[in-house]
Amino acid sequence: MRVAVTGGAGFIGSNVVDLLVENGHEVEILDDLSTGFEENVNPAAVLRRVDIRSPEAARIIAGGSFDILCHHAAQMDVRRSVREPLFDADVNICGSLNLFEACRKGGVRRIVYASTGGAVYGEPHSLPVREDSPIDPICHYGISKHTVEHYLFLYRYLYGQDYVVLRYPNVYGPRQNPRGEAGVTAIFTLAYLEGRAPRINGDGLQQRDYVHVRDIARANLLAMDLLNGRISGRIMNLGWGAGRSVLELDGIIRRLVGTDIVPVRGPALPEEIRQICLDASLAADILGWRPLIGFEDGLSDLVEHHRSRTGRRA
């Protein structure tokens, strides 16, 4: 198949591209490299350096004879979304609509949309969270990502546009950018390797559902199966269904790095959810997907990735 991957030079998108190429698919990447990196781009894929809000991006999708649009490009920093809500909405909502219009005109057979299970639900009423749980986001990012899910429903209703929504947990693994505000696993790992103390906001008992990026890439590949008639129009959580605390994560990373440095403490952030984990039973039933890479194995993979890049043992 011909697959367009937006954000394909970024952390998750580039891992998806690698798996698509491994499975024989023809891939074009749309990425403005504002948060992605050219070094992440698979040499077998074609990179188009464009902003998803641009007319050029729309022309590429409409005229590219693509079977699938795998849409990962986004403003995905929760804190930036609170600081700059208009920018967040412009990229995540208007950028997505630009692409969806192009899909409609270009006959794209399915859109696979990377949404967020970690932000759309807000503070959950019960755990693990199911797809039919209340949607009460407490940050602008969660609202913008969920709004796009409604547009996908509308485009299917009005135009017959096929789609699948994957609601992601906290994704971690190689290529996660440790220099931003998102991606606690990468931020902590690089800090310890560089001899710095990372910061824990609040008491550190906040819990997240951490899934390795290769498991997430595999879910995307499964969601592109055009012969699976049960997929169309589905929204599916991805996750283990169990949370890990920041303190637990920190302890494992310190042990893997081999450091006596301890984190500093900062105030809790009001836009951050206290605890979340996602029930992925629907993805197991419909896609045959379950996460396979255990937490400590995945963190070891991440530590070795950054260690090889920094050349530091601790």
What positions carry a catalytic annotation?
141
Determine the length of the chain: 314
Please give the Cα distance from 194 to 187 (Å, whole number): 11
Residue 39, class by beta-carbon neighbours within 10 Å (0-12 exposed, 13-18 middle, 19+ buried)? Answer: exposed
Strands, DSSP E only, in 87-147?
Answer: 110-116
Q: Are 289 and 112 in contact (CB under 8 A)?
A: no
Half-sphere exposure of 91 (CA within 13 A, CB side): 23
Please give the Cα distance from 103 to 89 (Å, whole number): 20
> With helix as H, strand as E and coil as C, how does 227-269 read?
CCCCCCCEEEECCCCCCEEHHHHHHHHHHHHCCCCCCEEECCC
Residue 158, class by beta-carbon neighbours within 10 Å (0-12 exposed, 13-18 middle, 19+ buried)? Answer: exposed
Q: What's the angle, vertex CA 24, arms to CA 58 and CA 18, rounded to 5? A: 70
